[in-house]
Amino acid sequence: MAEDKAETQAFTPGPGYRQFKGRDEFPSNILHGTLACAIWIGSMHFNVSLLLFSLLFLPFSKFLLVVGVLLIFVVLPIDHNSKFGLRLARYICQHMSSYFPATLHVEDINDFHPVLGYAPHSVLPIGVVTLAERTGFMPLPKLKCLTSSPVFYTPFLRHIWTWLGASPATRKNFCSLLEAGYTCIVVPGGVQETFLMRHDSEVAFLKSRRGFVRIAIEKGCPLVPVFAFGQSYAFKWWKPRSKFLLQLSRAIKFVPMLFWGSFGTPIPYQHPINVVVGKPIYVKRNPQPTTEEVLEVHGQFVKALQDLFERHKGRVGYADQSLTIL
């Protein structure tokens, strides 16, 4: 698809602008940062490594025992208010914010609303750490990040990500959270955006993603565009491109691909990440919006995200970068 270009002026900070620098807010070191990344990201690799090791080097009966233990962790109830879990989540958020380092830019700190549309997904949308409740940059007491459902069927990962503020990305859950007064971070591009990502430019898969816009109109919730600069450089990656892989990715809700960071490990590279939160797009509440209403607001969101990218790319060090909206 052709790139949508927006003629926009460079951003001039207003009285509501705020900037939060992870490394200034949370003094850390490479050891703590690496450990935080390993706990959050490496837990998925731990499961695979444990299964492969058990299958290849242990008696089959012990392999079955390992599988059984992992299955227990799949169904083990999660204590959402666990003191240990919340302390762990705070440790991960704060030390990861310092590790890259990550910086949060908010165009108007006084104008927050319930639906944050985040792009790009990249290999992993790790820039959301700047928005997490446990990081504490955002003045939002109730915040959830809607995440692909396989996370909540993965041993260890489901506990860690739940404590971090993740919640299943289903329509029912999205609506329930908004009704309960939560702010929700939505990554509308999802799996397909990961499948379509490129090495030479940023990609946002948005033009056919209208479900989050419809729900925002149904609940009368303004939409806020968010873009993460530098996130795509946290990992190197390789994936085949085929229709079969795309269909498989849609079915299993993640993209089978190879990705690696520092020294070939799952630990991301220390590449600065700048997450920019734009201004809200106000909507009129309509429990049964028409297709035309949804298309109008969706078009406003796509343009707002493109404008946000163009306004800030120069000031955060990506003046020559382009954004392709598919």
Overall average pLDDT of the 306-318 stretch: 95
The pLDDT value given to residue 95? 97
Whether the predicted pLDDT of 158 surpasses 90: yes
Name the more confident of 244 and 285.
Answer: 285
Q: Is 322 exposed, middle or buried (0-12, 13-18, 19+ CB in 10 A)?
A: middle
Domain positions in the chain are 18-325
Q: Is pLDDT at 12 greater than 90 in this prediction?
A: no
Considering the entire predicted model, what is its pTM?
Answer: 0.91
Name the nearest CA neighbour of 130 among 205, 263, 24, 269: 24
**What rounded mean pLDDT belongs to the chain?**
91
Q: With 90 as the cut, is the pLDDT of residue 251 above it?
A: no
Positive or negative, the CA dihedral 33, 39, 44, 49 is positive
For residue 313, is pLDDT > 80? yes
Span 105-120, mean pLDDT? Answer: 88
On the question of pLDDT at 9 being above 50, the answer is: yes
Give dist(CA 146, CA 89) in Å, integer.
16
Q: In what order do the strands lie in the sheet with 223-229?
A: 18-21, 102-106, 273-277, 223-229, 115-119, 183-186, 143-147, 166-168
pLDDT digits (tens, 9 = 90+) for 167-223: 999 999 999 999 999 999 999 998 889 888 888 889 999 999 999 999 999 999 999
The pLDDT value given to residue 1: 42
Residue 7 pLDDT class (50, 70, 90 cuts): low
